[in-house]
């Protein structure tokens, strides 16, 4: 028996290698399964032959879940496979933003071609004086595979860590350090933390959860990190909060035209999971899920 797999993005070789001679990749118009990363499937028909879709990544907001349910298509994602990559970027941005590293690096490069560079450096470095994160409070919204490792690792930086998540899975709950203070009201976290990082999936319920009311509850000058999804934040309210200084810095992986050019915005081009290791982990997990399902009918989203 052979299976046809349709891919829409470059999938790491380590994953494709799992799909041995039984599998034909992009070989015809009647795929048994789809394997993708960021390609948006909304608005295009899913062929009747498709039994499963695997996303080599965490979020499934590029897949029309309702349409899949109606057609009986099983949807997989790769929980945890990119958690380390995202965590490392979040922790590095936490420190980099606190030390004004992004602006400082930009300024240093602007000295190209100038004279008396060391004098200019000494005269201007006060503009970039930063803060240490040790002793500060980090709020983690969402304690899934990514939020939980961010929370645990922030403790090693001597931060106080507070977390909010009404739906922690039993498996993840066991991994969270007891030093992470769990709160039952989001407002409690918003009003007390110096830094906040959000790690919840995008869904109709979470779209815009960081809204005007949430910004109003925050401490003035907070650094807000969003490596989850841009749409979790209401951008009208964000812009006001950036302008009036409620948000001292917004560090996001989801660039958006309305906040480009603002001094207190740092935007990266959706790099959270972009490491060789994470791409391999996700591709391997996704390919294994499809293989398992097509060959045995087992649904194992891990």
**CA 160 – CA 184 distance, rounded (Å):** 17
Beta carbon nearer to ligand MLT, 38 or 177: 38
Shortest Å, Cβ 188 to ligand MLT: 28
Beta carbon nearer to ligand MLT, 180 or 273: 273
* Choices 56-64, 107-115, 179-187, 287-295; region in contact with ligand MLT by CB under 6 A: 56-64
Determine, following the binding rule CB under 6 A, whether residue 38 of this chain makes contact with ligand MLT: yes
Cα torsion through 147, 152, 153, 159, rounded to 10:
100
- Least Cα distance to 54 among 92, 16, 91 occurs for 16
Q: Assess contact for 151 and 161: CB atoms under 8 A.
A: yes
Shortest Å, Cβ 81 to ligand MLT: 8
Determine, following the binding rule CB under 6 A, whether residue 199 of this chain makes contact with ligand MLT: no
Determine, following the binding rule CB under 6 A, whether residue 179 of this chain makes contact with ligand MLT: no
Shortest Å, Cβ 88 to ligand MLT: 14
Q: Which of 58, 89, 210, 265 binds ligand MLT (CB under 6 A)?
A: 58
Beta carbon nearer to ligand MLT, 37 or 223: 37
**CA 165 – CA 199 distance, rounded (Å):** 10
Kind plus residue range of the DSSP H or E element containing 214: helix 212-217
- Looking at beta carbons, which residue is closest to ligand MLT? 57
The token duo for 277 is: 């290791």
**Pattern of binders to ligand MLT over 261-280, x per CB under 6 A?**
-----------xx-------
- Least Cα distance to 236 among 268, 261, 214 occurs for 214
Shortest Å, Cβ 158 to ligand MLT: 29
**CA 2 – CA 10 distance, rounded (Å):** 22
Determine, following the binding rule CB under 6 A, whether residue 230 of this chain makes contact with ligand MLT: no
Q: What is the DSSP string of 147-162?
A: HHHHHHHHHTTT-EEE
**Pattern of binders to ligand MLT over 66-95, x per CB under 6 A?**
----------------x-------------
Count of residues in contact with ligand MLT, rule CB under 6 A: 8
Phi then psi for residue 171, to 5 deg, are -60, -45
The token duo for 116 is: 């008396």
Determine, following the binding rule CB under 6 A, whether residue 37 of this chain makes contact with ligand MLT: yes
Beta carbon nearer to ligand MLT, 36 or 218: 36
DSSP 82: T
Determine, following the binding rule CB under 6 A, whether residue 57 of this chain makes contact with ligand MLT: yes
Q: What is the number of other CB atoms lying within 10 angstroms of the CB of residue 103? A: 16
Q: Which of 8, 14, 24, 59 binds ligand MLT (CB under 6 A)?
A: 59
- Measured between alpha carbons, how far is residue 195 from residues 2, 82, 134, 151, 222 in Å? 51, 22, 12, 12, 6
Residues forming the site for ligand MLT (CB under 6 A): 37-38, 57-59, 82, 272-273
């Amino acid at each position: 028996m052979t299976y046809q797999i349709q891919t829409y993005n470059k999938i790491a070789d380590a994953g494709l290698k799992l799909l041995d001679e039984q599998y034909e990749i992009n070989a015809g118009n009647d795929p048994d399964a789809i394997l993708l990363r960021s390609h948006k499937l909304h608005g295009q028909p899913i062929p009747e032959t498709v039994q499963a879709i695997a996303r080599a990544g965490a979020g499934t907001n590029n897949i029309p879940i309702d349409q899949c349910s109606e057609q009986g298509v099983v949807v997989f994602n790769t929980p945890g496979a990119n958690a380390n990559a995202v965590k490392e970027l979040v922790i590095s941005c936490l420190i980099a933003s606190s030390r004004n590293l992004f602006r400082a690096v930009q300024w240093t490069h602007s000295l190209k071609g100038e004279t008396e560079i060391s004098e200019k450096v000494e005269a201007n470095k006060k503009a970039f004086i930063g803060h240490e994160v040790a002793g500060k409070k980090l709020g983690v919204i969402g304690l899934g595979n990514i939020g939980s490792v961010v929370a645990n690792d922030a403790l090693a930086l001597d931060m106080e860590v507070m977390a909010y998540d009404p739906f922690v899975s039993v498996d993840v709950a066991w991994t969270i350090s007891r030093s992470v203070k769990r709160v039952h009201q989001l407002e409690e976290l918003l009003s007390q933390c110096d830094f906040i990082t959000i790690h919840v999936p995008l869904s109709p319920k979470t779209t815009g959860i960081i809204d005007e009311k949430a910004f109003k509850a925050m401490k003035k000058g907070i650094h807000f990190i969003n490596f989850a999804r841009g749409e979790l934040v209401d951008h009208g309210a964000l812009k006001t909060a950036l302008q009036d200084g409620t948000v001292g810095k917004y560090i996001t992986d989801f660039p958006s035209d309305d906040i480009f050019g603002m001094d207190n915005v740092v935007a990266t081009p959706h790099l959270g999971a972009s490491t060789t290791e994470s791409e391999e982990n996700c591709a391997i997990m996704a390919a294994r899920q499809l293989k398992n399902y097509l060959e045995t009918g087992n649904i194992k989203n891990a």
